[in-house]
Amino acid sequence: MPYTQLFYHLVWATKNRASLITPTIEPIIHNYMRTKAIGLGGTVYALNGVEDHVHMAAAIPAKIAVSTFIGQVKGVTSTRFNQEYGGDTTLYWQDGYGAFTVDGKRLPYIIRYIERQKEHHRANELIPILERMEGETGRPIIRDQAERYTTGYEKWLTDMMALSA
């Protein structure tokens, strides 16, 4: 059996960015999302959002494609919500999503960012790249300069050894 640590920051929005995720609906759909993610073998570290989109920090098993994981979480959530609570409010998701890999050392920062989504949006203190849900052509990929990987090797090695203890 393989051993993996695959952490993701996932983001997706309601169809047409409709403000459907009210304080009444939010705990219901978050429960559906969390239940499906765990049912797929994932681990949910944080789940939050605002009226028109959701952020999730999760570990996804290597045997499941990220697109499959997100598609199933979105699909089950909207289907169950619409069957059980539909009527005046029908929940649909946009087709796109954002998926960002996160290393274990930075996972706590992503968890905190997700847990404070409502505060960040109220104060307009957002990290634009972490709010993206669809690809844009012509945008550069964020990369550290190569020398940043080699100059802190001893610190990195110490940190990695501490994680293994």
In a domain? residue 31? yes
For residue 28, what are the contacts with CB-CB under 8 A and spacing of at least 6?
81, 85
pLDDT over threshold 90, residue 130: no
In a domain? residue 104? yes
pLDDT over threshold 90, residue 154: no
* DSSP code for 14: B
| pTM of the predicted model as reported, rounded to 2 decimal places | 0.80
Tell me the two tokens of residue 85. Answer: 């609570």
Query: Residue 72: which CATH number?
Result: 3.30.70.1290
Of 15 and 128, the one with more pLDDT: 15
In a domain? residue 47? yes
Range of the domain at 127: 7-164
In a domain? residue 2? no
pLDDT band with cut points at 50, 70 and 90 for residue 137: very low
In a domain? residue 1? no
pLDDT over threshold 50, residue 138: no
pLDDT over threshold 90, residue 15: yes
What is the average per-residue pLDDT within 42-50?
A: 96
CA distances in angstroms from 53 to 37, 38, 94, listed in the order given = 17, 20, 10
SS3 144: coil
Q: What is the pLDDT of residue 165?
A: 59
Lowest mean pLDDT among 8-12, 47-51, 57-61, 100-104: 100-104
Nearest to 54 by CA among 79, 28, 80: 28
What is the average per-residue pLDDT within 156-164?
A: 68
User: What is the total count of domains within the chain?
Assistant: 1
In a domain? residue 141? yes
Give the number of C-alpha atoms closer than 13 A to the C-alpha of residue 159, restricted to the C-beta side: 9
7 residue type, one letter: F
- The predicted-structure confidence for 110-121, as pLDDT tens digits, reads as follows 999 899 989 888
In a domain? residue 27? yes
